[in-house]
């Protein structure tokens, strides 16, 4: 492989003994899928359930699930403020579906009292595509990842209503609605690459982790 990410990707695949240290927030949602994919890319994975777990990681994944439940549990276990502080300090974070909502600075359709970790200069609409029965899969062109198209699974997915000046849209549906963004070392997707086995977003996230560590 050639290109600007080749060196760090080679390092990321060097094995669990020397790979980047990555946490997956393990309060609710598709934790196992993310952990398996990241381990396959050579990362050393920690399931984050308490504030002390943040001390041993260089990057964090916020999985899909139910954003309101993850928010409540994060506050219950004392994780919300430490994660917010870590993001503000530059911790690379990758959020998928509910994880995107948790990274957003602004939410449309939030329940009363719902909070986020913030960091992404975006406005996200919860359940924008409908309920579980409205889930769908499609192929997306993602220029930053190159060919072939990304096969994306949308499951009770949010939509990025507005991309602020600090964030960059990475992917959109054919009608122009944005479904993936990046801002510095933060990445958010409306869909679930871990469900379809699409590893390129995770590789891009690991590039950020390695560059910072």
User: Which CATH number belongs to the domain containing residue 152 in this structure?
Assistant: 3.40.50.880
33 vs 129: which has the higher pLDDT: 33
Q: What is the pLDDT of residue 114?
A: 93
Which residues participate in catalysis according to the annotation? 97, 192, 194
Q: Is 186 contained in some domain? A: yes
Q: What proportion of the chain, given as a percentage, has pLDDT over 90?
A: 85
Is 91 within a domain? Answer: yes
C-beta separation of 195 from 30 below 8 A: yes
pLDDT bin (cut points 50, 70, 90) of residue 138 is: very high
Report if residue 52 sits inside a domain.
Answer: yes
61-94 as b/e, with b when 16 or more CB fall inside 10 Å?
Answer: bbbbbebbebbbbbeeeebbebbbebbeeebbbb
- What total of structural domains would you count in the chain? 1
Q: With bands split at pLDDT 50, 70 and 90, how would you rate the model's confidence at 32?
A: very high
Residue 83, domain member (yes or no): yes
Q: Give the pLDDT band (50/70/90) at residue 6.
A: very low
* pLDDT at residue 9 greater than cutoff 90: no
Given a cut of 90, whether residue 10 has pLDDT beyond it is no
Percent of the chain with pLDDT over 70: 91
The answer to whether residue 197 sits within a structural domain is yes
Q: What integer pLDDT is reported at residue 160 of this predicted model?
A: 97
Domain that holds residue 77: 6-212
The SS3 assignment for 144 reads coil
- pLDDT of 11 reads 35
Considering the domain boundaries, does residue 66 fall inside one?
A: yes
- Domain for residue 38, yes or no? yes
Domain contains 1: no
């Amino acid at each position: 492989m050639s290109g600007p990410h080749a060196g760090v990707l080679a390092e990321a695949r060097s094995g669990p003994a020397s790979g980047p240290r990555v946490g997956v927030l393990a309060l609710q949602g598709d934790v196992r899928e993310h952990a398996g994919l990241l381990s396959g890319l050579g990362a050393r994975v920690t399931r984050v359930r308490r504030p002390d777990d943040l001390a041993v990681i260089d990057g964090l994944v916020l999985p899909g699930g139910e954003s309101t439940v993850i928010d409540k549990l994060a506050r219950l276990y004392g994780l919300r403020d430490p994660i917010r502080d870590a993001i503000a300090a530059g911790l690379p974070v990758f959020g998928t579906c509910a994880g995107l909502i948790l990274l957003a600075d602004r939410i449309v359709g939030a329940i009363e009292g719902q909070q986020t970790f913030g960091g992404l200069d975006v406005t996200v609409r919860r359940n924008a595509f409908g309920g579980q029965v409205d889930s769908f899969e499609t192929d997306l062109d993602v220029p930053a990842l190159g060919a072939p198209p990304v096969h994306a699974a949308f499951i009770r997915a949010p939509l990025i209503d507005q991309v602020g000046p600090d964030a960059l849209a990475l992917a959109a549906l054919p009608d122009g609605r944005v479904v993936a963004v990046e801002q510095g070392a933060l990445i958010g997707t409306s869909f679930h690459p871990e469900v379809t086995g699409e590893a390129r977003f995770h590789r891009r996230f690991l590039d950020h982790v390695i560059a910072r560590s």
